[in-house]
Structure 1
Amino acid sequence: MTPIQAVLFDLDGTLVDTAPDFLRICNQLLEAEGRPAVDYAQLRLSVSNGGRAVIKGAFGIQDDHPDFERLLEQMLSLYEASPAQDSRLFAGFDEMLTWLEEINIPWGIVTNKPARFTHKLIQQLALDKRCAVTICPDDVSRSKPDPEGLLLACKRIDRPPTNTLYIGDHQRDIQAGQAAGMRTLAAAFGYLSPKDQPELWRSDFCIQESTQLLPLLKSLIQPY
């Protein structure tokens, strides 16, 4: 097996636990609308699927509801203003990223999260200078599960896809990685729904806890 020479991450629910900021903002909007607060366990199920899914999950309404677009725009405006007030790297990930940097293994982000939110988030978390590449939907013509973003990331960091590991918490992440010819890892600690079965996604690896990633990477990577 060829050694891993680069590691790419999905963002929400894989590299960063962003659900707490969506929870804060949604509960602020719910209170203003005279509705009961939503809890973290409920909201985190929708975060990986974008802002529209978050509004549906928090407010229990669909796209055709007369207040849907207004609430969505209010949420996105508040989120853009402060996307990292409560968001954090998952447990063990700062140590893991530091280790990758020390052995000169580039790491990056390939996400379906729009650039206006992604870049501000990673700047506020002080990840922008550490991250070797960041690919958003704005950079490609086709988002995941299409492999375009992953292949572009590899081109920008000059690493072959066959020597790259892609990590994500959604089946579309694994599908994109497989289509790009990468090895894939399912992050079962992420924003999975009760119906998700990551063991059936046919990823090369699957971990249940974020702290399991560093030991696994150490077994896969040979510094070069």
Structure 2
Amino acid sequence: MPAMAAVLFDLDGTLLDTAQDFHRVINRMLAEAERPAIDYDSLRSQVSNGARAMVSHAFALSPEADDFPRLHQQLLDDYAEQLLISSSLFPGMTELLRWLEETRTPWGVVTNKPKRFTLPLLAALNLDHCGSIICPEDVSTAKPDPEGLLLACQQLGVAPERSIYVGDHLRDIEAGRAANMCTVAAGWGYLNTGETPEQWHSDHISHQSTDLQPLLHSLLQAG
């Protein structure tokens, strides 16, 4: 395996812990609909599946239901107004990103989260200076298609086979594998209930966010 030279991250559930903000917005919507609140852990398991999955799970609705488009749009609009009340970097990520920058290791973000949310979040956390930020609007096909990862590698000026992708969903690992990248499963992320990162067959697994820096150090020094 060649020495790794760049690191790309998924956003929600990998780099940023955004679940509490989604949980608050969803529960307010449920209260308005006179429905019972949803448990935090139950909703957390759906965050990386996207807004549609969260609405479907919280309201027990099929996407084909008459009310679904309205509720989906309400979640997006309400969330846009409350992006950073509780959201923050996962433990250890501040130190990890500082280390990457001190060692001049290119890094970036490849996410299925729309720019409407991604760019303000990263700007508020002073992370928008990274070498590449790829959102669904930047590609013709989102993950698990590798297009976004390949574009990010091009922007960073590093070959995909010398790049690492860290993500907390099967589609992240599938996208990284399709791009011929080294894949790391983020075991601390928003996994589906009953799911384990071992099921994804990534190249590596980091079960705690604070364990990621030593793993990346070993991969960036290898070769």
Same fold by TM-score greater than 0.5 = yes
Shift of 1:128: 0.9
Corresponding residue for residue 211 of structure 1: 210
- Residue 138 (1) aligns with residue 151 (2): no
- 1:64 match: 64
1:182 aligns to what? 181
What is residue 117 of structure 1 aligned with on the other side?
Answer: 117
Q: Tell me which amino acid in the other structure corresponds to 2:128.
A: D
Cα distance in 1 for partners of 2:109, 2:154 equals: 13
Preserved contact between residue 84 and residue 125 of structure 1 (Cα < 8 Å): no
TM-score, normalising length from structure 1?
0.95
Provide the residue aligned with 1:19 in structure 2.
19
Could you give the per-residue CA deviations for residues 48-90 of structure 1, whole angstroms, max 9, x where no partner exists?
1111111112222221222221111111101112212211111
Matched residue, 2:190? 191
Runs of 5+ unmatched residues, structure 1: none
Q: CA RMSD in A?
A: 1.4
Alignment partner of 1:171 is 2:170:
yes
The 5 Å alignment of 1:4-153 reads: 4-129=4-129, 131-153=130-152
Q: Which runs of structure 1 show a deviation greater than 6 angstroms over 4 or more consecutive aligned residues? A: none
Whole-Å separation in 2 of the counterparts to 1:84 and 1:72: 20
Identity %: 53
Whole-angstrom CA distance in 1 between matches of 2:88 and 2:134: 20
CA distance in 1, matches of 2:195, 2:24: 25
Secondary structure of 1:221 counterpart: helix
Alpha-carbon shift at residue 200 of structure 1 (Å): 2.8
| Structure 2 gap segments, 5+ residues each | none
Residues 145 and 176 in structure 1, CA contact (< 8 A), matched pair in contact too: yes
Q: What amino acid does structure 2 have at the position aligned with 1:143?
A: A
